């Protein structure tokens, strides 16, 4: 499978975490096309092709969304709720990639339809390994249903 046309959306407000995530995904050849947004409102604009992303095709959905929970403007749980409540987007895997280990965050994420919940490891090697394993599974091994065009 070629990674050239595979798009990943990273929703992360912390610059350091975004840079580490990008480095890990690209250096390990897990994903080449990672789009980063820094708040929940921008994530929704990207996903629904509105605002600054109005010219983007809604039919070209990311193959994976890595979603932090603690975001400015619109929190990650609301972003997750909006994605999973949309019939055309529901099948996109959304993995919560966060520092929160709060049981209520974990429970609510799964209740809203998260496909996974991964607590960001603190050490660099563990961080890279977790991302590599997660990316390889969701982008190379997982078989999602065919998505219908929404254009």
Q: Is the pTM of this model over 0.75?
A: yes
- Look up the domain containing 57 and give its range: 7-12+38-140
pLDDT, tens digit (0-9, with 9 covering 90-100), for 107-149: 999 999 999 999 999 888 898 889 888 888 888 787 777 655 4
**Which domain CATH number covers 109?**
3.40.50.2300
Residue 19 lies in a domain: no
Q: State the total domains in the chain.
A: 1
Tens-place pLDDT, residues 11-39: 999 999 999 988 888 877 777 788 999 99
CA pair distance 61, 89, nearest whole angstrom: 8
Please enumerate in sequence order all residues whose Cβ is within 8 A of that of 33, keeping only pairs 6 or more positions apart, or say none.
3, 4, 5, 6, 7, 8
Give the C-alpha separation, 136 to 3, whole Å: 11
Q: How far is CA 146 from the centre of its chain?
A: 19
Cβ of 13: how many Cβ atoms within 10 Å?
18
């Amino acid at each position: 499978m070629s990674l050239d046309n595979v798009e990943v959306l990273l929703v992360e407000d912390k610059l350091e975490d975004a840079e580490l995530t990008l480095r890990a995904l690209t250096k390990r050849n897990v994903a080449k096309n990672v789009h980063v947004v820094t708040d929940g409102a921008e994530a929704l604009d990207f996903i629904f092709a509105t605002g600054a992303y109005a010219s983007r095709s809604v039919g070209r959905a990311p193959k994976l969304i890595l979603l932090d929970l603690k975001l400015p403007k619109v929190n990650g749980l609301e972003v997750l709720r909006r994605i999973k409540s949309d019939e055309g987007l529901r099948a996109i895997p959304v993995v919560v990639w966060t520092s929160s280990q709060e049981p209520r965050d974990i429970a609510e994420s799964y209740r809203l339809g998260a496909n996974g919940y991964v607590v960001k490891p603190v050490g660099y090697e563990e961080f890279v390994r977790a991302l590599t394993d997660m990316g390889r599974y969701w982008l190379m091994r997982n078989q999602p249903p065919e998505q219908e065009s929404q254009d």
